[in-house]
Structure 1
Amino acid sequence: MNQTTQQESVTLIIRHRARPDSIAAYEAILRELTRAASEFPGHLGVDVMRQGEHFTSVLRFATANELQAWLDSPQRRELIERADPHLIDGEQKELHRAHEFWFTTPDNPQKQPPRWKQAAISYLVILPLVMLVPQLWRPLFAQVPLLGGFVPANMLIVATIVLLVVYVFMPRATRLFSAWLNAR
């Protein structure tokens, strides 16, 4: 990664393949890594997905510089050195500024499913939220009319939907439908 200042959030995907006899030891170190990353400035969250011995960590930071500070930190370096004996292929990193990483696979990160499948999964995730989230906010809007105005209500509804899609439902949906998404 370069050292240029970025004003947009960045996502780093890190893929590890643990040795079958070292999965428990690797998972313990991975928990330490995620905890240490969460204490760094600019950390926005981390999701870890496991498929067999393949572990995919999706780290989000507010800026590229804050991500780089974590990557260069002595804490991370020490933890990666401890994890390395438990890995088969070392570490693969991908930097993203968009959310297409939802549809990548550990065995072939460059290949993505057809766009129509990506759209179908996105539709299945977003449609129920669009119908449900406004209903969940309705009691608060009734109690606090200022929040129920057109602009504030829509800001709260859209922010809720976006956060739920990004952090909760889309990672789970892509795991659930991974066989269909990646079928040939």
Structure 2
Amino acid sequence: MNPEERMPDDDDEPVTVLVTRRPIAGMQREFEAYLHGITEAASKQPGHLGTTIFRPSGTKDRAYRILFRFDKRSNLARWEQSEEREQWRERAAVVSEPREAVVETGLEAWFTVPNCDVPAHPPKVKMALVVWLGIFLIVTTLMLILMPWISHWHLIPRTLLFTGIVVALMTWVVMPLLTRWFAGWLHPKR
């Protein structure tokens, strides 16, 4: 992300960054230390929602896929432009080949493919089924828990509360779990 770039407020949405890095031959231990360090550093940043590391799956594939999730594009930009991030870039240059990065937003970000250098998403029907399952689980649970307390509320405030909770839980709790649990079905090995 260009340090001069400024995001308008209406484009300040949650983002997922898929970074692909390959360690330099003989630098595996140093690369693992780098991964541990940058993951810890990113976790302390405002708006950081989590980091997932997918290590190489075979002997021929040396690529590590690292997913960084942030609540807002502006928080990602703040991290990318920080002095600390620049220091991690310098360390990465010593232990790995140049990175490949893709920034995803919206529903597709929930389904980022960990074993692919380019963004590729499962079929829309699979994405829809997983999203439906997540919403079904949340709505059913909320109806059991919240409705006795808020059923007397007017429709608009009740719906605002209900949908706000559904969106927050889907984004930060349920979809990360479901995409991990259904990874084999969503992204079968070719």
Q: What TM-score do the two structures reach when normalised by structure 1?
A: 0.77
Q: Measure how far apart 1:25 and its partner are.
A: 4.7
Provide Cα deviations, 1:43-68, integer angstroms capped at 9, x if missing partner: 3x4221232353211223254xx543
| SS of alignment partner, residue 99 of structure 2 | strand
Provide Cα deviations, 1:54-111, integer angstroms capped at 9, x if missing partner: 3211223254xx5434322212111332344454x44332233422122121232322
Structure 1 residue 102 corresponds to structure 2 residue 120: no
Equivalent position of 1:169 in the other structure: 174
| SS of alignment partner, residue 31 of structure 1 | helix
Structure 1 residue 55 corresponds to structure 2 residue 66: yes
| SS of alignment partner, residue 115 of structure 2 | coil
Q: What TM-score do the two structures reach when normalised by structure 2?
A: 0.75
Task: Note the aligned Cα RMSD (angstroms).
Answer: 2.6
Provide Cα deviations, 1:160-181, integer angstroms capped at 9, x if missing partner: 1111110011011111111111
Provide the rounded CA distance (Å) in 2 between the counterparts of 1:158 and 1:177. 24
For structure 1, the residue ranges without an aligned partner over 5 or more in a row are none
Q: Measure how far apart 1:4 and its partner are.
A: 4.6
Equivalent position of 1:93 in the other structure: 101
Q: Which amino acid aligns with 1:175?
A: R
Equivalent position of 1:124 in the other structure: 133
Provide the rounded CA distance (Å) in 2 between the counterparts of 1:163 and 1:110. 24
Provide the rounded CA distance (Å) in 2 between the counterparts of 1:164 and 1:18. 34
How many residues get paired? 171
Provide Cα deviations, 1:6-53, integer angstroms capped at 9, x if missing partner: 222231414244755343552233111221x22xxxx3x422123235
CA separation of 1:140/1:85 partners in 2, compared to 1, >3 Å: closer, same or farther?
farther
- Structure with higher strand content: 1
Provide the rounded CA distance (Å) in 2 between the counterparts of 1:18 and 1:68. 24
CA separation of 1:28/1:75 partners in 2, compared to 1, >3 Å: closer, same or farther?
closer
Q: Which amino acid aligns with 2:51?
A: V
Q: Measure how far apart 1:136 and its partner are.
A: 1.7
- 1:3-152 equivalent positions in 2, closer than 5 A: 3-7=5-9, 8-10=11-13, 11-17=15-21, 19=23, 20-21=28-29, 22-35=31-44, 37-38=45-46, 43=47, 45-52=48-55, 53-61=64-72, 63=74, 67-87=76-96, 89-108=97-116, 109-141=118-150, 148-152=153-157
Percentage of identical aligned residues: 22
Work out whether residues 21 and 100 of structure 2, in 8 Å CA contact, stay in contact via their aligned partners in 1: no
Equivalent position of 2:61 in the other structure: none
For structure 2, the residue ranges without an aligned partner over 5 or more in a row are 56-63
